Amino acid sequence: MARKNDVLVRFTDVQKSYDGETLVVKNLNIDISRGEFLTLLGPSGSGKTTTLMMLAGFETPTHGDIELGGKRLNNVPPHKRDIGMVFQNYALFPHMTVSENLAFPLQVRRKGRSEVAERVQRALDMVQLGSFGNRRPAQLSGGQQQRVALARALVFEPTLVLMDEPLGALDKQLREHMQLEIKHLHEQLGITVVYVTHDQSEALTMSDRIAVFHDGVIQQLATPSDLYERPKNAFVAQFIGENNRLNGKVAKLNGSNACLVTLDSGSQVQALPVNVSGEGSPTTLSLRPERVQINPPEGALPNVFDAKVEELIYLGDHIRTRCSLAGSDDFVVKVPNAQGHSSLQRGSRVKLGWAIEDCRALDA
Ligand SMILES: Nc1ncnc2c1ncn2[C@@H]1O[C@H](COP(=O)(O)OP(=O)(O)OP(=O)(O)O)[C@@H](O)[C@H]1O
Ligand SMILES: [Mg+2]
């Protein structure tokens, strides 16, 4: 894991505009620790690739500085940055064999013949393709090509590896296999990785920290569990995992641990004030489906509402139960398919309850 405070990459007030008018990256400030696996996660067009391209040196920031190992990078060309790269279309050289593909970055760096041979073999063994050196890319499966691309990015032992949706083209099973493989390589080699994806489960699986992008701004930069358990705003709560949203207004703020929210339907909910500006301000309440309790014991929870079961969707390990509650007809509860757990009937009436700390009052 990363040694804390040992900063490898630093973005300071970085902005990027392609047309001189709109900023697609706005005031980016990030410190990436040596050895860290940092993921840029966000919807299409939010500025992830642009950020990676500036770090790689293929795009220049319109404003601000990027430092690598304490050195300002702005005028250093890509091939002098000591950065390995893997992209979605892995772009192996089709006319070269696998070994020649891997040797290329070493030859560019003027390594001797025996060192090249040794490092190529080691990199191929690392991605479990030790006997594939003489094949051409067209003679490999998609997943094997992706592993060659990974080996080629690592073969010259770069300080930093950038990956932009490297698994996008693979089927689900192979993608999940490669996620773990990349994660394990990262741990074994102690390299620093900046990874781009718009797949939240991929980000949660692989990362030490995740930067959630939206509109060229980092909405939250935190560990996977922090992002899921403690989203700072409605965008992050919506983007990471599933959440129930209830709209209302803050009726009363009781310090920093509780507030009373009047929903548009008139019901009142006790919630944790996270991102509200004061009494009277509109808010979105966010509540994870697995934190809702069905028919809780009398008096056990501060929030209990009557609900009607509208729809049951069987998903094997749990039953996704859609209910109507407090003016919403899309309130989802996850009922685990565990032994002894009572199942609900469509059309039946239940009480649903939740704790204050599980119900986050966020921006509207
Ligand atoms: N070379 C370019 N010239 C002009 N505009 C660009 C260029 N590259 C990207 N953009 C614009 O900048 C914004 C951010 O694009 P970027 O490629 O960084 O998004 P992204 O987060 O990587 O999205 P995706 O998930 O779709 O890959 C988009 O609005 C895009 O249209
Ligand atoms: Mg992109």
Q: Tell me: the pLDDT tens digits for 114-154?
A: 999 999 999 998 888 999 999 999 999 888 898 899 899 98
The answer to whether residue 345 scores a pLDDT higher than 60 is: yes
**Residue whose pair of structure tokens reads 């008096």 in the numeric block:** 299
Cα of 97 vs centre of ligand 2, distance in Å, is 29
Atom 27 in ligand 1: residue holding the nearest Cα: 44
What type of residue sits at position 110? R
Atom 10 in ligand 1: residue holding the nearest Cα: 18
The per-residue pLDDT for 5 is 64
Q: State whether the beta carbon of 198 lies less than 6 angstroms from ligand 1.
A: yes
The per-residue pLDDT for 91 is 81
According to CATH, the topology of domain 7-234 is Rossmann fold (3.40.50)
Q: How far apart are CA 57 and CA 27, in angstroms?
A: 18
Q: What is the mean pLDDT of the chain?
A: 92
The per-residue pLDDT for 3 is 47
Residue with the bigger pLDDT between 159 and 282: it is 282
135 in Cβ contact with 98 (< 8 Å): yes
**What is the architecture, at CATH level 2, of domain 242-362?**
Beta Barrel (2.40)
The answer to whether residue 1 scores a pLDDT higher than 60 is: no
Q: Where are the domains of the chain?
A: 7-234, 242-362
Comparing CA positions, the residue from 281, 300, 307, 308 lying closest to residue 356 is: 300
Q: Give tens-digit pLDDT for 223-237.
A: 999 999 999 999 999
Atom 30 in ligand 1: residue holding the nearest Cα: 45
Residue whose CB lies within 8 A of the most ligand 1 atoms, among 14, 50, 162, 198, for a mutation test: 50
Read off the pTM. 0.88
Share of the chain above pLDDT 90, in %: 73
* Minimum mean pLDDT range among 86-90, 126-130, 349-353: 86-90
Q: Give tens-digit pLDDT for 197-217.
A: 989 999 999 999 999 999 999
Closest atom, ligand 1, to C-alpha of 198 = 25
Atom 12 in ligand 1: residue holding the nearest Cα: 24
Q: State whether the beta carbon of 24 lies less than 6 angstroms from ligand 1.
A: yes
Task: Quote the radius of gyration of the chain (alpha carbons, Å).
Answer: 25
Q: State whether the beta carbon of 45 lies less than 6 angstroms from ligand 1.
A: yes
State the DSSP string of 83-147.
Answer: EEEEESS----TTS-HHHHHHHHHHHTT--HHHHHHHHHHHHHHTT-TT-TTS-GGGS-HHHHHH
The per-residue pLDDT for 283 is 97
Residue whose CB lies within 8 A of the most ligand 1 atoms, among 26, 28, 49, for a mutation test: 49
